[in-house]
Amino acid sequence: MGDRAAKQGGGSARTPLSKRGLVDFSDETHKGRVAALKTERDHAQADVERAFAELRPETRITEEKIDSFARLMRENVAQSPTPSRRSYLRPVIAVE
């Protein structure tokens, strides 16, 4: 049965499609699709890495991290130039 599949162009599942003559990677359509799939794969890998990072204890939000952030924001708002102060406060305060 394997010989018949090879004779009909089926080949082994381990043989790349390009070596079997089934895909021409010089075709622009395939190039674009492969590039899109690689980008999608990279985004998925980044999502996986981000999810695993959230499971690590060092990335947990702690009281110390909240206090440190609050202290930094107070200093930035109190001592920064006016445009910077506005940019720090804009996400927190609804300005119309």
Residues 35-93 pLDDT 10s: 889 999 999 999 999 888 878 766 678 899 899 999 998 888 888 888 888 887 888 88
Asked if the structure places residue 93 within a domain, the reply is yes
Residues 55 and 85 in one domain: no
Give the range of the structural domain holding residue 54, as residue numbers without chain letter: 24-60
Asked whether residue 12 is domain-assigned, the answer is: no
Structure tokens at 44: 């998925």
Check residues 33 and 40 and name the one with the higher pLDDT: 40
96 and 66 in one domain?
Answer: yes
4-40 CB burial, b ≥16 within 10 A, e <16 = eeeeeeebeeeeeeeeeeeeeeeeeeeeeeeeeeeee
Residue at 67 is within a domain: yes
Q: Are residues 32 and 45 in the same domain?
A: yes
Instruction: Show Cβ contacts of residue 28 under 8 Å, excluding neighbours closer than 6 positions.
Output: none
Domain check: are 67 and 87 in the same one? Answer: yes
Q: Are residues 56 and 68 in the same domain?
A: no
